[in-house]
Structure 1
Amino acid sequence: MLFFILTTIGKFLTKDEERDRELMARIKARDSSALSELYDNYNRLLFGLILSVLKKREEAEDILQEVFTKIWENAEKFDLEKGTVYTWIVTLARNKSIDRLRSKVYKEQKKQSTSLNDDDVFHPLYSNESDPLENTILSERAERVHKALNEISEKQRKVL
C-alpha cells in the first residue's frame, strides 16, 4: 500500500521535473544549497519509504542521511536520459534500505551460526504481490522504449 502511495506522490512530484533537473545540475556544480532544497522536497517521502522497509526509526534516519550523502558524492553519475531525478533518488533509497536489511539478516544469521539461505534473506524483501514502485520504474522505461521505437523507421522496428 505504501508503495502505491509513494508512486502517486511521485507522479505529482515529478510534474516539476525541470526544477529537479536544475537542482541536480547545481549539485553537480557543488552547490550545497541545491542539495538542501532537494532534501526539503524529498526527505519525508524517502524517510517513509525507508521506514517501511526497515521498520526502525533510527536506522531509517541513518539510511536517509546516507542517501543524501550518496546523491552529493555521485551527482555526476545521474543521467537524465536514464530516468527522472525522482526515480533515481527513490531507487537509491530503496536499494540502500534493502542492503541494510540484508546486512542485518546476515549478521543475525551469523550470530546464530546457522547457514544463510536465500529464503531467509529475500522473504522479508520480496513477495508475490506486485511492487508499485517497480511497476512505475518499468512503466517509465517502457514509455521511453516506445518513444524511441516511434522515432525509427518501420523497417528498423521490424528488425528489433
Structure 2
Amino acid sequence: MDPREELRVLLSRVALSDRTAFETLYDRTSAKLFGVVIRLLRDRHEAEDVIQEVYVKVWQRASSFSAQQASPMTWLIAIARNHAIDKLRVKKRPHEDIDDNHTLADAAPGPEKAAIASDEFDRMRTCLGELPEDRSLAVQGAYLDGQSYQELADRFAVPLNTMRTWLRRSLLKLRECLEA
C-alpha cells in the first residue's frame, strides 16, 4: 500500500477512536514530526513535550482531516509546526524598554566560539564526505531532516534492516573520523 494512502486509512481509523491505528500512525510519523518540531524549538525536552501534545491534538481532531484538502503528512506537519510556533510565542518575554536595560549583551557567540563551531562544522562535513554518497545522504536524512528509517529505506530502495545497518555503521565511522 502506498505510504500516503496508508496514512489516510490510519487517520480515518483514528477518527473512529482506533487505538491500534493511532499507535501505528505514531510509529510511522513521529520521527518526521519530531524533526520538524526540534528544528523550530531547538530544545529536545520541549520538543518531546510538544510532540506529545501534537498527538493528543491528532487524536482529538482526526475526524477533521480531509484528504481532498491536504496529504496526511502535510496535515500532521502543519499541526506540529503550528503547535511549536505557539510554544515559541508563549516563551517570548514581554517587550522591555531599551532605556531600562543597562546591560545589553550580544547574543552571538564570540570569535573564539564561532571559530570552534566553524571548525567542528568543517570536520563533520569532511567526515560525511568520507562516507559513500548514499550513506551520507541517509545519515543527513535521518538526523538532520527527521526522516524515518522506513522513509529512507523506501527512498534508497533497500530493506528496512539494511537501512538500520547503514545508519549504525555510518555513525560509527563518523565517530571514528571525528575522534581522529
Confirm or deny a common fold (TM above 0.5). Answer: yes
Aligned twin of 2:49: 62
> Runs of at least 4 residues of structure 1 off by over 3 A?
none
Instruction: Give structure 1 stretches of 5+ with no counterpart.
Output: 1-14, 116-160
Instruction: Give structure 2 stretches of 5+ with no counterpart.
Output: 98-180
**Match status 1:114 vs 2:101:** no
Instruction: After TM superposition, list the pairs within 5 Å mapping 1:134-145 onto structure 2.
Output: none
Which of 37, 45, 48 aligns to 1:50? It is 37
**Counterparts of 2:88 and 2:49 in 1: how far apart (Å)?**
13
Q: Per-residue CA shift, 1:40-97, capped at 9, x if unaligned?
A: 0111111111011001111100110011100000111111110111000001111111
Aligned twin of 1:31: 18
Q: Which amino acid aligns with 2:16?
A: A
Q: Which amino acid aligns with 2:57?
A: K
Number of matched pairs: 96
Aligned twin of 2:81: 94
Q: Which amino acid aligns with 2:81?
A: R
Instruction: Please give the TM-score of this superposition, normalised by the length of structure 2.
Output: 0.51
Q: In the TM superposition, what is the alpha-carbon distance from 1:25 to its structure 2 partner?
A: 1.2
Q: Per-residue CA shift, 1:24-52, capped at 9, x if unaligned?
A: 11101110111110110111111111011
Instruction: Please give the TM-score of this superposition, normalised by the length of structure 1.
Output: 0.57
**Counterparts of 1:21 and 1:37 in 2: how far apart (Å)?**
12
